[in-house]
Structure 1
Amino acid sequence: MHIFRSLTDIQPHVAQGSCATIGNFDGVHLGHQALLRRVMDSARNSRLPSVAVTFDPHPLRVILGKTPPFITLTDQKIEIMDKLGLDYLLCLPFTREMAGMEPEQFVLTFLIKGLNLKHLVIGYDYAFGKKRRGDFSLLQELGTKYGFTAEQIGPVQKNGDTISSTRIRELVEQGRVHEARPLLGRWYRVVGSVVEGRNRGGRLLGFPTANLKLIDELAPQPGVYAVWAEFQGQIHKAVANIGYNPTFGNDALSVEVHIMDFNKDIYGSELRVHFVERLRSERKFDSLDALMEQIYQDIASGRELLDRPANAL
């Protein structure tokens, strides 16, 4: 997949036309993936390149200034889309000027002149242009006027749930990470750099931990989780604690990962953490001995969960 960040750069590659979709794709969940695969199928049948158009920063962050935490930041969105097999991703910088464009002007500027659009696929809830006045009905009218076809796909459901970024965000924030997996098509993941912590895990408790400074915005509800820790492409069983360490009286949120059967100095490195299941809530212990006993139980429970074939990464 080739990534472009301006119309000028992508235009030579779509001179004969394109099949495209457009959206924010937060989470690149299974609903988004169905949309992207439909675009790729249409492009293959038409012998045209497939293009996904997205924005950075997110339009709502520009318009409203504040948004809920995102499930996937731009780098992870790009990584997931690349694995799907798209030809091109056009990641446009979103501006207030763009937000104020009338829908027809938006289509003419970015899709007709920019992408030489021949076919457009959108999701059931997509709207665009000033005050979100652009909808599927308008796209059909503009298609007749400018010579492209438009297609809208309906919502994708899983286990009676409509797959949406909002629903996935709710599940993660509630700690129900195992329920988020069927909607995402993967375990929910965060990425962070390993930084110096308070040196309690190894020194006081005998369980060394990697303390993460998160890059991602969305953190699961505080508690202890069975997770897969990914370091330099290698996957390791681990347990993670997200919370405030009430036994020690902390007031700042921390993410600490104990990687099982692992003994490497990884300070300053990137660590990816894939959340499998919440083991318990965070709580205060009366003594270090009680905390240590609980950590032994957490590691044993985490190992047993991660040994299950259904929980493989």
Structure 2
Amino acid sequence: MIVARTIQDIQGVIAGSCVTIGNFDGVHKGHQKLIALACERAKARDLTSVVVTFDPHPLRVLRNDRTPPFITLTEQKLELISQYGPQVCLLLEFTMDMARLSPEEFVKTYLVDGLKVKDMIIGYDYHLGKGRAGNFETLCELGGKYGFTVDRLDPVTIDNAIVSSTRIRDLVQAGHVWAVRPLLGRFYQVTGEVVHGMNRGGKLLGFPTANLKLVDELFPKPGVYAIWAEVDGAVYEGVANIGKNPTFGNDVLSVEAHLLDFSGDIYGDVIRVHFVQRIRDEKKFNGLDELKDRIAKDVELGRRILAQPEAAIKLTHPDFHRCPEVR
């Protein structure tokens, strides 16, 4: 997949395209179906398959700080989109100037003149243009004017509920990470650099932990979780604590991962943590012995959870570094 950040980067390169467009936060099952359908249609009509998305997320520009935490940051979103086969991802910078464009101005500038769109597939609730005025009917009218067809994908449902970024976000924040997997097609994951912590895990407790410098925005509810951890291309079982370590009186949110059957110096490494299932709430213990006993039980529970066939990990592009970009 080629990543272009402006229309000028691919001007004159694409003779005709099948386009899908959206924010794709989380790249969940609904998004995956949309992208796969666009790729299938492009192949059938000998067109270039293109995903159009935005950075930053439009809500971040329009609402500033009054936005929810997003499920995927830009690099991970690109990684996930690339997994589903589009030839090009046009990652447009969303600005207030863009927000002021009418639906027709946006379509004419970016889709018709820029991408030579011949076919377009949108989600059931997609809107575009100033004031979100552009909808399926608007796009059909513009398609008739500029010579492209438009299809709308019905909502994807799992357990009788629509798969949506909001639903996933609510489940993660409530700690229901096991329930998120069917909606994403993978476990919810965060990435962080291993940094020096308070040096209590190994020395005081006998359970060395990797303390993560947080880069993601969305985190599960504080507590202890069974996890998979990716380190230098290898995958390890583990348990992780999200919270403020109340036994030691901390007041800063942290993610500390104990990797089972692992030894090595990973300070400075970037690791990826996949949250499988919540084990318990975070709590304050009366002393070190009580805390150590509880951690030992957490480790045993983590092993049992991760041994279940349903807990098998699905990696997304373990060799992914960065999509090639057109500059």
- Same-fold status (TM-score > 0.5): yes
Aligned equivalent of 1:144: 144
TM-score (norm 2): 0.95
Q: Distance in 1 between matches of 2:19 and 2:139?
A: 13
The structural deviation recorded for 1:300 is 0.3
The structural deviation recorded for 1:81 is 1.2
Deviations 1:8-52 (A, max 9, x none): 1122331x2100011000000000000001101110110111000
Percent identity between the aligned chains?
56
8 Å contact kept, 1:240–1:257 = yes
Could you tell me which runs of 5 or more consecutive residues in structure 1 were left unpaired when the two chains were aligned.
none
Return 75-84 or 19-28, whichever deviates more: 75-84
The structural deviation recorded for 1:228 is 0.1
Q: Distance in 1 between matches of 2:142 and 2:254?
A: 51
| Structure 2 counterparts to residues 169-248 of structure 1, below 5 A | 169-248=169-248
Aligned equivalent of 1:276: 276
Aligned equivalent of 1:34: 33
Aligned equivalent of 1:60: 59
**Match for 1:57: what amino acid?**
P
Q: Distance in 2 between matches of 1:32 and 1:134?
A: 19
Deviations 1:141-164 (A, max 9, x none): 011101000110110001112100
The structural deviation recorded for 1:233 is 1.1
The structural deviation recorded for 1:232 is 1.0
The structural deviation recorded for 1:104 is 0.7
Q: Distance in 2 between matches of 1:50 and 1:241?
A: 41
The structural deviation recorded for 1:166 is 0.2
The structural deviation recorded for 1:85 is 1.2
Aligned equivalent of 1:287: 287
The structural deviation recorded for 1:108 is 0.5
Q: Equivalent residue of 2:24, what SS?
A: coil
Q: Distance in 2 between matches of 1:121 and 1:44?
A: 14
Q: Does 1:24 align with 2:23?
A: yes
Q: Distance in 1 between matches of 2:12 and 2:303?
A: 52
Q: Distance in 1 between matches of 2:35 and 2:196?
A: 41
Q: Distance in 2 between matches of 1:169 and 1:264?
A: 34
Q: Distance in 2 between matches of 1:164 and 1:123?
A: 11
Number of matched residues?
312
**Match for 1:70: what amino acid?**
F
Aligned equivalent of 2:316: none
Q: Distance in 2 between matches of 1:126 and 1:11?
A: 26
Aligned equivalent of 2:50: 51
**Match for 2:288: what amino acid?**
L
TM-score (norm 1): 0.99
Higher relative contact order (CA 8 A, sep 6+): 2
Q: Equivalent residue of 1:12, what SS?
A: coil
Q: Distance in 1 between matches of 2:95 and 2:80?
A: 25
The structural deviation recorded for 1:239 is 0.2
Q: Distance in 2 between matches of 1:282 and 1:240?
A: 11
The structural deviation recorded for 1:267 is 0.4
**Match for 1:138: what amino acid?**
T
Q: Give every structure 1 segment of 4 or more consecutive aligned residues whose post-TM-superposition deviation is greater than 4 Å.
A: none
Q: Distance in 1 between matches of 2:168 and 2:263?
A: 34
8 Å contact kept, 1:243–1:255 = yes
**Match for 2:53: what amino acid?**
T
Deviations 1:187-219 (A, max 9, x none): 000000000100000111010000001111001
| Structure 2 counterparts to residues 158-173 of structure 1, below 5 A | 158-173=158-173
User: What is the RMSD computed on CA atoms of the aligned residues?
Assistant: 0.6
The structural deviation recorded for 1:80 is 0.9
The structural deviation recorded for 1:310 is 1.1
Q: Equivalent residue of 1:186, what SS?
A: coil
Q: Equivalent residue of 2:183, what SS?
A: helix
